[in-house]
Amino acid sequence: MILWLNPATGLSGDMLLGALLGLGARLEAVRSAIEATGLTGWSLTAEQVRVDGIAATRAVVTAEDDAPERHAAELLDLASRAHPEPVAALAVSAIRAIAEAEGALHDRDPAEVHLHEVGGLDTVVDTVGVAAALHDLAITEVRSAPIALGSGTVTCAHGVLPAPAPATLRLLEGAAVVGADLPGETVTPTGAALVSAMGARFTPPPAMTLGATAYGAGTKRFPQRPNVLSASLGSPSPATPGAEVETMVVVECTVDDVTGEVLGHLVQRLLESGAADAWTSPVTMKKSRPAQVVHVLCAPDREAALSEIVLTETGALGVRRHEVRRTALPRRTTTVEVRGHAIRVKHGPHRSKPEHDDVVAAASALGLPLRTVAEMALHAAHE
């Protein structure tokens, strides 16, 4: 089942949870997953409300919490106890992303990060709840429109900061965003972390047979703008079962005066900046000069930004571009543990493959061959 989100007024954990409950995720299944964590003193209900005339579902989370600030390790331990395992894995991935973002900002070990606004037990309820709702709805693929970012300031434990907050921006790296004339915080760290953990791809609605649509209610109110998260279910279109044909752009330039180190840096920067793929290939130019062609595959809305990166990094005087049609098969990502190390595994219709960077980190820490760790991750994923 495909889930398509339209966060036109932003995104938060409770908005996601409300939208998924509105789509039919069973409240008892969500509560059962949260109960498995051992968390006490909490409650979760779903209310039907009207937001500026739109019928929406509000997820009401309460927690008897005398310490709304705590170490990330405590939240990770609770989330890891959720059942079934895919629910725990997604919730842990979201909380770990928050801890890593905070750790990077404050130069601290993620496990030792002291979480403030997202350190309450309601974060466990939100992350485990969303993960359980996705599992209950049998969601295998998540797509999203660009996420609307507000402006102005936000007040937090570190004082008054520009909106979006620094941690939120770090969590949104790689996501498609768009500015909106909305005041203050429209995206919470929990919402940003969950979208990342779900492996959301930022595209127009894919080719699918549209099913139910529901709206998750936010707590803020905006003038003449209903603060709701639109979520739609769909099944792959019978005309293109399991695949999507999309228009992409290839940007290229040929260089003969750029070192291999610069080209390696360029490819990495392009990938980190939203390219779907980037690579180089050797060619022979006029006068038999050896050269390299830089290729960048990207969505049309990333063409200008990525072309600028190619020009500034290589010093080239221009680029060429052409449109291509790409057939993309459905894929999903799960997270497994190999001797205490988290490894993401990407699953397609025909094979599964561990994320190389995760395997390298685990192999280095464990002192094992790369191939051995990759095989252990695949075995864990198939189990």
Q: What is the pLDDT of residues 231-272, one digit of tens each?
A: 999 987 655 556 777 889 999 999 999 999 999 999 999 999
**Regarding the domain with residue range 244-328, which homologous superfamily does it belong to in the CATH classification?**
Transcriptional regulatory protein pf0864 domain like (3.30.70.1380)
Contact 256, 291 (CB under 8 A): yes
Say if residue 282 is exposed, middle or buried (CB neighbours under 10 Å; 0-12, 13-18, 19+). exposed
Q: Where in the chain is the domain with CATH 3.30.70.1380?
A: 244-328
Q: Which pLDDT score is estimated for 157?
A: 57
Residue partners of 38: CB distance under 8 A and separation at least 6: 78, 81
Q: What is the pLDDT of residues 166-217, one digit of tens each?
A: 888 888 988 889 888 887 888 999 999 999 889 898 888 877 889 999 999 9
Contact 56, 228 (CB under 8 A): yes
Q: What is the pLDDT of residues 161-171, one digit of tens each?
A: 777 878 888 88
Which residue's structure tokens are 């609770």?
78
pLDDT band at 21 (very low <50, low <70, confident <90, very high): very high
pLDDT mean over 310-334: 90
pLDDT of residue 95 exceeding 50: yes
Would you call 240 helix, strand, or coil by DSSP?
A: coil
CA 196, distance to chain mean position in Å, is: 1
State the Cα–Cα distance between residues 341 and 201, nearest whole angstrom: 25
Element (H, E) at 269: helix 260-272
